[in-house]
Structure 1
Amino acid sequence: MTLLEEPPRSLRLRIDQTAIADNWRMLDALSGSAETGAAVKANAYGVGVEAAVPALLAAGARSFFVAHWSEVAVVRTLAGQASVSVLHGVRNDQEAAYARATGAIPVINSLHQAQVWSASGGGPCHLMVDTGINRLGIAPSEIGDPAIRALAIDTLMSHLASADEDSALNALQLQRFREAAAAVPAKRLSLANSAGIARGADFACDLTRPGLALYGGVPHPSLAGRIRQVAFPEAAILQIRHLAPGDCVGYNATWTAQRPTRAATVSIGYADGFLRQMGLGCALQHEGRALPLLGRVSMDMVVVDASDSTAKEGDFLEIPCELPEVSRRSGLSQYEVLTVLGQRFARN
């Protein structure tokens, strides 16, 4: 059977690559003399590595970070000779062999991982030391272990737990990191994520690892007004309905028309990352006019009030994706709002 070309999708996502590059350059300037890398894990936080990595390369990024080994191949292809590091490290011989085959650098997180890497032949790696977030990383007390001493450590890393707020833990983690650095023969030090960069030069060290702020997130108040929005989703109107007073909309009939209402059913739902929490107090946009949501978000659809709009079937509506505002309204973190973007969007 001959398959026809796929028709145009009713969902589209415009990614502003210039904004990604501008955001990286701004964070690079804030990083001072430190190198500025880029976290591109989780498909570049949902915006797509195919759009993000070329933009970041063009801006000057040369060190990329992913979480899973399954993310390496596409980033390696896009990043060329740039460094690709895997934050979850090497759990077994297969992952160690894959690291060698791809040239990706593992971040060693435990004595077991150190032993796996050394047994596979060793070589350059990074080392994560836990200074207070209690996720991945060796304990400071394990720094002197022979398995750690046997490593060829390029970068000693840690991760801030509360960089987005004024917490005493930030200074404590920095102190613990400096103590660890004094005991580890690493070439470079890396501590700051996006919010950590905003905390100043003491946290920048030799290499910063921004993520969320590259893609439009504002994880620290000092970055407000300096980070550009990157993701711009749109969805098409599937049908216009004319509701009479008393007509209900959506699952569980949570909205009832009080007046004649021109309602538009729109091709986006929680399967596309537009979660029910995002619908609370939300309005889609058409030619500068707000179209408030009616009722609950469904898997594939929402309904909006188009009474004061000229929008018609087939027109595309703008979906709010200014991360700080959507986060404030929905109660979701900016990370969640962005990384749940679905796979049904046509992406530029």
Structure 2
Amino acid sequence: MIDIASPLRLRLDSTALVRNWQWLAARSPGACGAAIKADGYGLGAAKVMRHLAAAGCRDFFVATWAEAAALMPLAGDVSLSVFHGVGDADMVAARTLPARPVLNSVEQVRRWRAAGEGRPCDIMVDTGMNRLGLRVEEAIGGALGGLAIDTLLSHLASADEDSEQNARQLAAFRTVRQAVPARRYSLANSAGICLGPDYGFDLTRPGLALYGGVPRREAAGHIRQVAFPEARVLQVREVRKGEPVGYGATWVAPAEGRVAIANMGYADGYLRCHAGQGGAAWRARDLPLVGRVSMDLIAFDASAADGLAEGDWLALDYDLPSTAVRSGLSQYELLTGLGTRFDRCWISKEP
């Protein structure tokens, strides 16, 4: 097979990933796990698991059984849970793979009780989000009798905000904790950890903050950027004053200059909302994004980048909090939207 390098690369800092987990773990009263669904938020779940397991993380969470299967075989004593539980079509995988289902409904509980052969499971209880999970009254009303519950979970709907809903969900979860026996209890995601130790219980399960996202102001200055997207220059071309660049002629050169055409676009997750506000850097020189974002081409004003040439690499401006504000996309979308044409290149940036 011919080894062909991609004109896109995502430089991933394993040191930052581990330091982020350690910061979150230090604020978790019990154990600190890791959500690695959506292929590790787009970074590569298998590599994320390997780096965090080496740092001491033992509890991992994915969304689907296909995601769980992709991580096999599990190394050492790590634990893996599948958030979306078990449908009829999932039972073979659920009974075969060394992972626990997070049961989300009375129907799933019945299905697991009938076919799970007494194996441990996790339970999701809805404390106010109205997404997945048994209602509180179902959980404390006897629906879970006879199950070997490893971890009983709920999920905070508004932890990234100063919302009264957080306290209401905490109170509801405490009620369930008193009524339903389980080995461990888990409520807090990344933002929930920042709400304080009352939300931590026995196990926290951060996601966004592991990968460089800042879930709340308390994490600002502590969470490090992990993902650094870069694009290779396909062409550097001269433009005359008054000449347009790109579809729709939305940008016109204000003076004679140069533009760098890079191999990246909305097919790679760099969406059209970045137009007029995105940018890149080359050797500490800023290159503003100009014109529309095409499917797999973008243009940067390279007039001040003397020496920039075809084949050079541009580092995209991709600080997650500020890029989210600029683009209107969430930090989650900015991470998980980065496409498969990026080579994922893990590095270590020691201080």
TM-superposed deviation, 1:74 = 2.6
* Secondary structure at 2:4 match in 1: coil
1:301 pairs with 271, 292, 297, which one? 297
3-state SS of 1:126 partner: strand
Contact 1:229–1:322 (Cα < 8 Å) also in 2: yes
Listed one character per residue, the Cα deviations across residues 124-170 of structure 1 (whole Å, up to 9, x for unaligned) are: 11111101111000011212455421321111100001111110000
TM-score for both structures, normalised by structure 1 = 0.96
Match of 1:69 among 62, 65, 77: 65
CA offset at residue 51 of structure 1?
A: 2.5
- 2:332 alignment counterpart: 335
Q: Closer, same or farther in 2 for the Cα pair 1:321/1:80, shift >3 Å?
A: farther
Aligned with 2:289: secondary structure? strand
In structure 1, stretches of 5+ residues that fail to align are none
2:119 & 2:310 partners in 1: Cα distance?
A: 59
Q: What is the CA–CA distance in structure 2 between the aligned matches of 1:172 and 1:184, rounded to whole Å?
A: 18
Letter of the 2:97 counterpart: T
Residue identity in the other structure for 1:106: P
In structure 2, the partner of 1:347 is: 344
| Separation (CA, whole Å) in 2 of partners of 1:329 and 1:302 | 17
Which residue matches 1:117?
Answer: 112
Contact 2:276-2:290 at 8 Å conserved across structures: no
SS at match of 2:295: coil
Query: Within 5 A, what are the aligned runs for 1:1-348?
Result: 3=1, 5-32=2-29, 34-77=30-73, 79-92=75-88, 94-120=89-115, 121-309=117-305, 310-348=307-345
Q: What whole-Å deviation, never above 9, does each CA across 1:314-337 have from its counterpart, x for those lacking one?
A: 100001221111111111110010
Partner AA of 2:145 in structure 1: R
Task: Write the distance in 1 (CA, Å) between the matches of 2:165 and 2:276.
Answer: 34
For the Cα contact (< 8 Å) 1:280–1:330, is it kept in 2? no
Summarize deviations over 1:242-273 as a string: whole Å, max 9, x none.
11122111111111112112011001111111
For the aligned residue pairs, the C-alpha RMSD in angstroms reads 1.3
For the residues of structure 1 that align with 2:75 and 2:15, how far apart are their CA atoms? 17
Identity of aligned residues (%): 53
Contact 1:279 1:296 in 2 (8 A): yes
Normalised by the length of structure 2, the TM-score is 0.95
Q: 1:320 to 1:77 in 2, by over 3 A?
A: farther
**Contact 1:76/1:84 (8 A) holds in 2:** no
Assess, with a 3 A threshold, how the Cα gap between structure 1 residues 78 and 324 changes in structure 2: closer, same or farther: farther
Deviation at 1:81, TM superposition (A): 3.2
Give 1:346 shift. 1.4
Query: In the aligned structure 1, how far is the partner of 2:241 from the partner of 2:266?
Result: 28
8 Å contact kept, 1:54–1:78: no
| Alignment-mate amino acid for residue 99 of structure 1 | A
The alignment of Structure 1 onto Structure 2 pairs a total of residues equal to: 343
Structure 2 Cα separation of the partners of residues 55 and 169 of structure 1: 34
In structure 1, how many angstroms separate the alpha carbons of the residues matched to 2:87 and 2:75?
24
| CA–CA separation in structure 1 for the residues paired with 2:292 and 2:106 | 49
Contact 1:53–1:79 (Cα < 8 Å) also in 2? no
Task: Output the CA distance in 2 between the equivalents of 1:334 and 1:153.
Answer: 33
What is the CA-CA distance between 1:80 and the residue it aligns to?
Answer: 4.1
Secondary structure, aligned partner of 2:152: strand
Q: Is contact 1:165–1:220 with CA below 8 Å preserved after alignment?
A: yes
Contact 2:13 2:226 in 1 (8 A): yes
Q: Deviations over 1:161-217 (max 9, x none)?
A: 111111000000000111111111112110000010011110000000000000000
Structure 2: distance between partners of 1:146 and 1:51: 40
Question: 1:78 Cα deviation (Å)?
Answer: 5.1
In 1, the alpha carbon distance for the partners of 2:146 and 2:246 equals 61
CA–CA separation in structure 1 for the residues paired with 2:282 and 2:74: 35
Structure having greater relative contact order (Cα 8 Å, sep ≥ 6): 2
- Letter paired with 1:23: N
Counterpart CA distance in 1 for 2:46 and 2:119 is 29
